[in-house]
Structure 1
Amino acid sequence: MLVEEIQLSKELFGLLDGSRLESKQGEAMMLLTVTDDHWPHVAMISAGEIVALNRRQLRLALWSGTTTTGNVIRTGKATLAAFADGRAYYVRLLLEQLPELPDAEYPRARFTATVASSRADTAKYADILTGVTIRLKNPAEVLKRWEKTHEELMR
């Protein structure tokens, strides 16, 4: 069953709101873009690289020079695929690059994103138990970087 909105669900907003990063360190999502030769490109993004300002606006921090970043700069579009509370979410984003922060501790390409559409997908015959989960190799170091990345995304 599909439910479509033009904002994040309360559940997905709770995953992306930037709070409780330590409890979200295993969460990863997929960010889909389109290459210049029209092929889908999939990258993973963690809870530390995305923050929802509200249910319509997000900020993303992407590694500079990557295929994903180039695709976002070129098209201004991406789809976020995330999994929470037994649902798969597909969020179409319209993105604009933010100015570089010369004093950034962890330099990234920063983007502001507006939700163009958000679909929640469930099935009557099955429960979605998990999406992409990760295990950080050095949680203390990564969580520190994520917290700083979120601070820099808010500037």
Structure 2
Amino acid sequence: MDFHNEGLPDNLFELLNGRALHDKQHEAMMLLTTTQDLWPHTAMVSVGEVVAVDRTHLRLAMWPSTTTTQNLERTGQAMLVLFYGAKAYYLRLSVEALADHKAARHPRRRFSAKVDGVREDVAKYADITSGVQIQLKEPGDVLSRWQETIEDLLADD
């Protein structure tokens, strides 16, 4: 299957809309970047670090000084991989750093990501029954931080 440029399908847009984080707290995704020596690098991200601004634009909140952040700043490219709704999704992203949010409550490097292509992957002979799932150790604290991070991501400054 090829990548299409029609933006996020309805179910991914709903998943990444930044709302009802409690109901989505178990969903995790993989953000793939390329290291300076051209090796793939994978980071696990959550619905508290990725938000859809619209169907073709995301915002990402990354920990500063990580390999992922360095890769994003250097290459301006990433792939977000999700397993959701019995399908695998691969999102090609063109990424650029945003200015730091002056009133940010959590130290994150903010990025704007344009969805350059989406690929939906299903097999005729098998169903995907689950994706990457997580269990938060302190859901109350984490969900509060995620909500604040989403608000910081969507801030205009």
TM-score normalised by the shorter chain: which range applies?
A: over 0.9
Q: Does 1:25 align with 2:25?
A: yes
| Structure 2 residue identity aligned to 1:61 | A
CA shift digits 1:81-132 (9 cap, x unpaired): 0011110000000011000123211010000000011100000000001111
Unaligned runs of 5+ in 2: none
Equivalent in the alignment of 1:116: 116
Shift of 1:3: 5.8
Q: How does 1:40-119 map to 2 (within 5 A)?
A: 40-119=40-119
Aligned pairs, number: 154
Question: Structure 1 pair 47/9, CA: closer, same or farther in 2 (3 Å)?
Answer: same
Cα RMSD (Å) of the superposition?
A: 0.9
Equivalent in the alignment of 1:5: 4
Q: Does 1:129 align with 2:140?
A: no
Say if 1:78 and 1:95, in contact at 8 Å, map to a contact too: yes
Equivalent in the alignment of 1:142: 142
Sequence identity percentage: 52
For 2:70 and 2:86, how far apart are their aligned partners in 1?
32
For 1:154 and 1:14, how far apart are their aligned partners in 2?
16
**Normalising by structure 1, what TM-score?**
0.97
Shift of 1:146: 0.4
Say if 1:101 and 1:107, in contact at 8 Å, map to a contact too: no
For 1:72 and 1:133, how far apart are their aligned partners in 2?
24
**Normalising by structure 2, what TM-score?**
0.96
